[in-house]
Amino acid sequence: MLATLSDRREFDGGWILERKLDGVRALATREGGQVRLLSRGAKPFDAAFPELAEALAEQDCTDFTVDGEIVALRDGVTDFSRLQQRIGLTNARAARATGVSVTYFVFDLLRLDGRDTTRLPLLTRKSLLHDALSFRSPLRYTTHRKATRDTNPVLEEACAKGWEGLIAKRADSAYVHRRSPDWLKLKCGRGQEFVVGGFTEPAGSRVGFGALLLGYYDGDRLRYAGKVGTGWDTRTLRSLRAELDELEQDTSPFAGTVRERGAHWVRPEFVAEIGFTEWTRDGMLRHPRYLGRRTDKRARDVVREEPAGR
């Protein structure tokens, strides 16, 4: 179940608020002795996060499916760039060797003891979840609070703590396998995923590449949204260039003309998380910065996110 971006700030007592976490979404399922940790795109996460799989395997409850977010914390604040060191690893020993500690914040229950719980009200699911699992590090239960009529003070407090924002959820909502207006994202800043459709050559002392050319899907057409040239270190520049070279193609994947001299075009498969201040009137990103790679979202699912009406 996915949340809808919203600028709504007034809620009645039928809503709850949870912390918005900046990590990667993961479903965890256990049937008997077998535990599987999966990305949103159903890719296995077990090797990248072996300590989470082990913690789930040690639970007294042996039959469940839960939903949550894997994060790396620094001083209590999620650090997506730090988490990047673990994403994509397929060797458990290499994952542990990074020295990056991760936490799995669990916020929903989809199945328990062989029974589908998705049609139960959200608060009932959360209560069952709280009682079913033992939440010791690296597992955390995602707490919530009742929404107030004006959430602006609560959101301001969350932003002051360095949080990504809040998720407002309808307390009686069922769990549906799609984006839903029953879950709303209330963000502190602007940011979303974009598809990389090309890159430019580096200039001066820069290595790797100069900038990534970004887009989003509008139906079957990949719309150009501008380029990003900040947010990485030298190692990241080199490693991303190697990956992009493998995706290079002769023609532009973007709909319409993209005027970038000497651009290299790539198959639109690489998804990046980008922070920015706003959209310009001509549909370009203002002050974009690269935050990291997303392996939990398909390129075809990347669209321009606009706040839902109040």
The confidence band for 277, taking pLDDT boundaries of 50, 70 and 90, is confident
Q: Where are the domains of the chain?
A: 1-16+144-188, 22-141, 190-301
78 burial via Cβ count (<10 Å: 0-12, 13-18, 19+) = buried
Q: 190-301 adopts what CATH topology?
A: OB fold (Dihydrolipoamide Acetyltransferase, E2P) (2.40.50)
Mean pLDDT of 179-192: 90
Q: Round to whole Å and give the CA distance between 227 and 209.
A: 12
- What would the CATH number be for the domain defined by 1-16+144-188? 3.30.1490.70
pLDDT at 167 over 90: yes
Mean pLDDT of 152-165: 89
Mean pLDDT of the chain: 93
The confidence band for 306, taking pLDDT boundaries of 50, 70 and 90, is confident
Q: What is the pLDDT of residue 250?
A: 95
Give the pair of three-digit tokens for residue 160. Answer: 């002051």
Q: What is the pLDDT of residue 271?
A: 95
pLDDT at 92 over 60: yes
pLDDT at 309 over 70: no
pLDDT at 310 over 60: no
Mean pLDDT of 6-19: 93
List, in order, residues 6 or more apart from 45 with CB less than 8 Å away.
Answer: 24, 26, 37, 38, 39, 52, 70
Q: Which residue, 55, 49, 58, 54, is CA-closest to 26?
A: 49
Residues designated catalytic: 20
Q: Which CATH number fits domain 22-141: 3.40.50.720, 2.40.430.10, 3.30.470.30, 3.90.1150.200?
A: 3.30.470.30
The confidence band for 40, taking pLDDT boundaries of 50, 70 and 90, is confident
